[in-house]
Homo-oligomer: A and B are copies of this chain.
Amino acid sequence: MNNAQLLINNCASCNLKFYGFDTMSTEQLNIFKESHCRVEFKKGETLIKQGARCSNLVCIKSGYVKMHVEGLGGKSLIIKVLKPGDFIISPGIFDDYRNHFSASAITDVNTCLISIDAFSNVFHSNDQFAESILRHNHQLMQTLYNQLINLSHKKMTGRVADTLLYLSNEVYESNIFYTTLSRQDMADLSSVSKESLIRILKDFKDSGIILVEGNQFKIQATTTLQKISQAG
């Protein structure tokens, strides 16, 4: 094993900072290191399958992943888009050991998979780590509350505006972005039909709020979008 590989495979020298991992001792980082597998997923592949046994903490090293729940009649709802530095703890951990959602690669993705045993070990021996995991969880829950409000109280235009602001602010962190999400994905993220999404995108484009060229987006009028989002 050469030096470069050593660096790559050592959690202590990982170039990404995962939320809460800074509370871990060298020894604890070693526990992660010992248990981890580096796995690469191709675009479209499934990282986590709803209903299957959950066996890993999934850390995203590079690429983008959609977290979605599979509903009825083949329909799907996207909860969140994950980016490098994010990780996924299946809520089944400590409970029924099942995944309650799926995660799929929307680009090629590099991951580190840490075993649940290693995670559990550190969770139990490091209370600061435990606290940050709980906090991480609460933040995800916050996202879910917002989604619930969006779905139940906002009309389509407001929800699509939210999706655009979300992608721009939280995911791609720029008002110009190229997305590998399909129109169907964007519809699943906004909880509207694909056709409705396309029409609303066209409206926004016609009113000069955004520029769209295929999957290349530019948010021109952020405040207008925010108003549309607020108005519901």
- The residue in chain B whose Cβ has the minimal distance to the Cβ of A190 is B152
- The contact size tier of chain A is 35 or more
Q: Determine which of B101, B141, B153 lies in contact with A77 in the assembled complex, contact meaning CB atoms within 8 Å.
A: B153
Q: How far is the CB of A128 from chain B (nearest CB, A)?
A: 8
Q: A93-B138, A95-B138, A148-B79 are in contact. Are A123 and B127 (CB under 8 A)?
A: yes
| Contact A123 B133, beta carbon cutoff 8 Å | no
Q: Determine which of B127, B141, B230 lies in contact with A140 in the assembled complex, contact meaning CB atoms within 8 Å.
A: B141
Q: A77-B149, A91-B138, A137-B137 are in contact. Are A125 and B127 (CB under 8 A)?
A: yes
| Contact A144 B154, beta carbon cutoff 8 Å | no
- The CA-CA distance from A79 to B137 in the complex, in Å, is 17
Q: A131-B124, A134-B134, A232-B72 are in contact. Are A145 and B100 (CB under 8 A)?
A: yes
Q: A71-B152, A137-B134, A232-B72 are in contact. Are A145 and B101 (CB under 8 A)?
A: yes
Q: Is A92 an interface residue (CB 8 A)?
A: yes
| Contact A130 B140, beta carbon cutoff 8 Å | no
Q: Determine which of B135, B137, B144, B151 lies in contact with A138 in the assembled complex, contact meaning CB atoms within 8 Å.
A: B137
Inside 8 A of A130's CB, which chain B residues have their CB? 123-124, 127, 130-131, 134
| Contact A95 B135, beta carbon cutoff 8 Å | yes
| Contact B131 A133, beta carbon cutoff 8 Å | no
A-B contact pairs, 8 of them (CB 8 A): A72-B149, A73-B153, A75-B152, A91-B141, A100-B141, A100-B142, A124-B127, A144-B145
- The CA-CA distance from A128 to B127 in the complex, in Å, is 11
- The CA-CA distance from A75 to B150 in the complex, in Å, is 11
Q: Determine which of B71, B72, B138, B153 lies in contact with A94 in the assembled complex, contact meaning CB atoms within 8 Å.
A: B138
Q: How far is the CB of A17 from chain B (nearest CB, A)?
A: 18
